[in-house]
Structure 1
């Protein structure tokens, strides 16, 4: 808060300009009864209007201070949810772990003022609440997921590890679909241009902070004659080879989707941590392979990593640590070293390359751990025979005895003859 209020000033561009200029301008357009139809920087689903208009709840503060205050409240909500979920429970329940809260406490400051100068933290609060509600209140969790998807699309990935059959699955998927459809219809009916963001997203290119952008950072010293321009709300590369790299990024997105589908088909064992681990892994994959990696995207990963770290038995500890390191490097490249990133200087490119390398390593590690945690052990023929012989049902790899225990064999020495 001290950073966004300019009490503590970090080197680099003023990250609060998006709030004071862009968000405030959008709020005035939205208040007039229409979406920003002709503004290509409007890259968000229709419910994002709720976040942009939310500072109107505190009119006595002015738009920008009110926005920062609401983000502060969202930060407190996330921390409260993580602290509650991380409390130990009385026996025989094991409760949660405080590690998740510490991941959040570390991750938000590591990103610097960007964490409070974008509305992404509000979306993370919705996503965290949805994940924690999934176990006991699946309909509410589904509704929150639908709301999150209409705020910034990526929360739809929370359903990656959701059950597909049963009453809980119907409540979760039905709540998500109903909330998303209802909100979309309401937004379309309320103002024209609710779906204009789809065209603007389609036309985006390769942003200079993305994984694909490293290709052109490395090509610059060898005579690549392209340039950088501010387009669609971010700084992108423009020049030879950019369309090809953008197409390859889309192919990587498709490969990530294909791997997730293969994982769901091959997964044998779903535990209480699978929903959290799958949501984190899917979001990490799509963030890393995206044509655009804006600094605030790291908040999504920090929030989902924190949720996974609250649950005992979670397997994503190493990827969560790598994400925290990547978040700290993100602060070094934006806003501190952003001028050097734009210019292609080593002072900007080196932290950026390290950050993207950590995201790749975290993605590979998260995929491997998610795959291993749900593969289980295939039951051998002997286990199946034993289960049937004892009147039991095979659960995973162990037979569960559902009938009376078999009688012990008679003592052969007591038989005549």
Structure 2
């Protein structure tokens, strides 16, 4: 009966995925015209323009909208694999394939002993909340690489590092996946992969690093956290403008540079917090790698000068990986991200004109969406800290032999065992970071033999 119920649940999940993705495809294929601005224009105009330049063997050196690392050329060129379709339709189909790949990865890890398919449910429900924008950007392809990296992380650190390094050359942010990696092999594999690919692109195609200058010169995008300052200020006489600049709709005018600098400062503070966490954390459990990656990407997305709608795809994907683990502390932040995704579709594309006009509806939507992201970031960071930074026993200095031993026992699935190796009802590790008790070791040993 349990197996039958599970089969029905899986069939229902796949049916829901198929139904929602059909709606997204109908929207990007323009069988059904989705309200608001045409979200497919990036593929039809910008991506296809880059494609024509990249085919000649060079990067778009004269196009300031090219703000991506060199490996981004691969998804832009990928529609050539489906030469029987025109460029845009081929791109949309490949985006669907990437979406399906993420679902397959989440189901594969979610059906392992001690895991849950809740992460797959988050992905199936979260993607359509963002509307057709998901299939009209290459971010879903990057997210597929990131999800594969995190899922590989607890068992195959070298593969995880290689995928993270490759992902970083697609769109930078997957480098943050390594923040919770405890194995040097993961970092080494990432460095080698990124180094080799960077060298190959630099030798093969001129302009591999032109994106650095273009990215540096960006301003404050109208959907970002800092943009709220100007949305409100416009009602009190601020005389700046809203213009298409560097490929996005940005504020230009007095004090914009100061707000952009403030956003960079917030990102620096977030990076400092992550470094502090990494130096003080002592308990690395099987879900810590995914939890830490989710927190890091949340921090850098929320504090960014640009929060484009497609950025939410990253967060939905990472939240889904976290929720594959029964003991993750990211359930509430994941729910907040899903709520923010729904509001994101309302502000873009549905009512983007209200956002550009800074009218009450547009400002309210941004306050709600960005407020949800800030709240998700704070809750996720707090939970990560509380579950990984152990309190030392009275009289035991931090970094003592006992604490290090406790950390090694709680390492991120060092033998590649599933969560089922931890007997139900027992804590993940000694909450003080000390060595595991003899009873716990005996139970764990018996559970490990059973799992084997």
**TM-score of the superposed pair, with normalisation by structure 2:** 0.83
Are 1:188 and 2:212 matched, yes or no? Answer: no
Match in the other structure for 1:376? 390
| Equivalent residue number for residue 42 of structure 1 | 66
Which residue of the other structure, out of 345, 348, 351, is the alignment partner of 1:337? 351
Question: 2:434 matched to 1:397?
Answer: yes
Tell me what 1:76 maps to: 100
Work out which of the residue numbers 141, 144, 148 in structure 2 matches 1:129. 148
Q: CA deviation at 1:347?
A: 2.0
Alignment gaps of 5+ in structure 1: 164-168, 403-417
Partners of 1:377 and 1:353 lie apart in 2 by 37
1:161, distance to aligned residue in structure 2 (A): 0.6
Candidates 339, 346, 350, aligned match of 1:325:
339
1:54 aligns with 78
Asked if 1:20 corresponds to 2:34, the answer is no
| Offset, 1:72 | 0.4
Alpha-carbon contact 2:277-2:389 (below 8 Å) kept: no
Alignment partner, residue 253 of structure 1: 267
The residue that corresponds to 2:257 in the other structure is 243
Q: Give the aligned partner of residue 135 of structure 2.
A: 116
2:9 — aligned with what?
none
Q: 1:157 aligns with which of 157, 176, 180?
A: 176
CA distance in 2, matches of 1:198, 1:365: 32
Choose which of 72, 88, 91 in structure 2 pairs with 1:64.
Answer: 88
Could you tell me how far apart the structure 2 residues matched to 1:253 and 1:171 are?
27
CA distance in 2, matches of 1:98, 1:293: 29
| Residue in structure 2 matched with residue 146 of structure 1 by the alignment | 165
CA distance in 2, matches of 1:69, 1:135: 31
Where does 1:336-355 land on structure 2 (aligned, <5 Å)?
Answer: 336-355=350-369
- For 2:213, the equivalent position in structure 1 comes to 199
- 1:262 equivalent among 276, 285, 300: 276
**How far apart in 2 are the matches of 1:172 and 1:260?**
18
Q: Distance in 1 between matches of 2:371 and 2:196?
A: 40
TM-aligned CA deviation for residue 274 of structure 1? 0.8
Given the two structures, how large is their TM-score scaled by the length of structure 1?
Answer: 0.90
User: In terms of Rg, which structure is larger?
Assistant: 1
Alignment of 1:359 onto 2:378? no
Look up the match of 1:293: 307
Q: What is the CA distance between 1:400 and its match in structure 2?
A: 4.5
The one of 193, 215, 238 aligned to 1:179: 193
CA displacement, residues 229-258 of structure 1 (integer Å, 9 cap, x when unaligned) = 111110110011101100100100000001
**CA shift for structure 1 position 375:** 1.8
1:99 to 107, 115, 118: 118
Contiguous gaps of at least 5 residues in structure 2: 1-24, 410-432, 440-452
- 1:231 maps to what in 2? 245
1:7 aligns with 2:28: no
1:146-199 residue CA offsets vs partner (Å, 9 max, x unmatched): 110000000000001111xxxxx2321111011101111111111111100000
After superposition, give the CA deviation of every residue in 1:182-220 in whole Å (9 maximum; x if it has no partner). 111111111111100000010001000000000000111
Change (3 A) 1:88 1:186: closer
Q: How many residues align?
A: 386
Q: Secondary structure at the match of 1:230?
A: strand
Maintained 8 Å contact 2:35/2:349: yes
How many angstroms apart in 2 are the aligned matches of 1:214 and 1:374?
34
Task: State the Cα deviation string for residues 299-337 of structure 1 (Å, max 9, x = none).
Answer: 000000000000121000000000000000000000001
Q: Aligned to 1:29, which of 53, 65, 75?
A: 53
Instruction: Please name the residue that 1:406 is paired with.
Output: none
Instruction: Map 1:398-417; keep pairs closer than 5 Å.
Output: 398=435, 400=437
Q: Distance in 1 between matches of 2:436 and 2:58?
A: 61
Secondary structure class of the residue paired with 2:220: coil
Counterpart CA distance in 1 for 2:164 and 2:291 is 16
Contact 1:377/1:397 (8 A) holds in 2: no
Given that 1:81 and 1:129 are in contact with CA atoms closer than 8 Å, whether structure 2 keeps it comes out as yes
Asked whether the 8 Å contact 1:37–1:193 carries over to 2, the reply is yes
